[in-house]
Amino acid sequence: MEYGLKPLGRERLWLWLMLTPTIIGLLFGTIGSLLATLGLSLFNWDLINPPKWAGAENYVQLFQNKDYIEAFANTLKFSALYVPAVVIVSLLLAVLLNRKIRGVGIFRTVYFLPAVTSAVATALVWNMIYGKETGILNWMLESLGFAPICWLCTDHAMMSVVIVNVWGAIGEGMIIFLAGLTAIPRDYYEAASLDGASDLQQFFKVTLPLVTPSIFFQTLISAINAFQAYDYIYMLTRRDQGDSSVPVAVYSIYRNAFHFFRMGDASAQAIQLAILVGVFMAIMFWWERRYVVYE
């Protein structure tokens, strides 16, 4: 099945011309660097001396290096908290904002704002919110008679970072789900309510099955983002000597490569992360074939 218009004559030339920058970027930027990383992962390279052959050594290290194992576990933990939270919260938000209420445009804009704001800038604001002594959150807790919490100390940092990342992601998730929701024909709801289905029943029997394509897409995107989460984590949990209270895999890759001059180790870690993302995507597509309902 083909869609759209086919390019004709000179248009074909223009088509390729316009696509060239993207294709070059893809070839060198993405595929080229993927191959380079794959190659580097088999060498030890300190950025100055010529790379030395290491074979599988850097991959063996993945299972022995305590710091990296901790970082990898943190990435899994982060993803396990982040992905369901983003999908559920943005779906609920989309359902709430998919009705005719006054100022719905304003609400939608407000929830989408984090997606178009610089993560560095918003992380600075979150630092103020989370501050133990001067933060707004603790000021609220204390006014209600609770003890202040050190949100960014080691014990709570994971939770605090997940909250900020979810907050930053629900705007985009909401848009995806809104698109999915508006595609559901209204007759289904009319029919359901004629049959006496309650709002809750309508949500579970009509809405949920029909937005499974959006849920699938959003889960996939959120998972990829979760494995690569870095900016908020860097801004909120970086300690003064460069470590983090929530070191994740990408954090470890960055430090090994550019601070400890271990390009080989960093590349092997990057490849492992890429494989993990690949495996996860494969599982998701299997799941899609079984459970996702397309009309």
Among 19, 26, 34, 293, binds other proteins (CB under 8 A): 34
- Position 94 contacts other proteins (CB under 8 A): no
CB 57 → other proteins: shortest distance, Å?
13
- Residues with Cβ within 8 Å of residue 294, at least 6 apart in sequence: 213
Contacts by residues 77-80 (CB-CB < 8 Å, ≥ 24 positions apart): 77/158, 78/158, 78/161, 78/162, 78/165, 78/226, 78/229, 78/246, 78/248, 79/223, 79/226, 79/227
Distance CA 88, CA 91 (A): 5
Interacting stretch for other proteins, rule CB under 8 A, among 77-85, 186-194, 196-204, 252-260?
252-260
Q: Are 192 and 202 in contact (CB under 8 A)?
A: yes
Q: In the 8-state DSSP scheme, what is residue 96?
A: H
- Residues with Cβ within 8 Å of residue 184, at least 6 apart in sequence: 206, 207, 210, 211
- Position 146 contacts other proteins (CB under 8 A): no
Among 24, 47, 275, 293, binds other proteins (CB under 8 A): 47
CB 216 → other proteins: shortest distance, Å?
23
CB 159 → other proteins: shortest distance, Å?
14
CB 119 → other proteins: shortest distance, Å?
14
Please give the structure tokens belonging to residue 228. Answer: 């690569």
**43 - beta bridge partners?**
53
- Of residues 280, 281, 253, the one with CA closest to residue 40: 253
CB 28 → other proteins: shortest distance, Å?
7
CB 7 → other proteins: shortest distance, Å?
30
- Position 254 contacts other proteins (CB under 8 A): yes
Distance CA 140, CA 145 (A): 9
Q: Which 190-229 residues touch other proteins, going by CB under 8 A?
A: 228
Sign of the dihedral through C-alpha 179, 184, 185, 186: negative
- Position 241 contacts other proteins (CB under 8 A): yes
Interacting stretch for other proteins, rule CB under 8 A, among 40-48, 81-89, 105-113, 193-201?
40-48
- Position 153 contacts other proteins (CB under 8 A): yes
Interacting stretch for other proteins, rule CB under 8 A, among 10-18, 103-111, 197-205, 248-256?
248-256
Residue nearer to other proteins on the CB measure, 40 or 91: 40
Q: Are 233 and 251 in contact (CB under 8 A)?
A: yes
Interface residues with other proteins (CB under 8 A)? 28-30, 32-34, 36-37, 40, 46-49, 66, 127-128, 131-135, 150, 152-155, 228, 230, 239-243, 245, 250, 253-254, 257-261, 263, 266-267, 270, 273
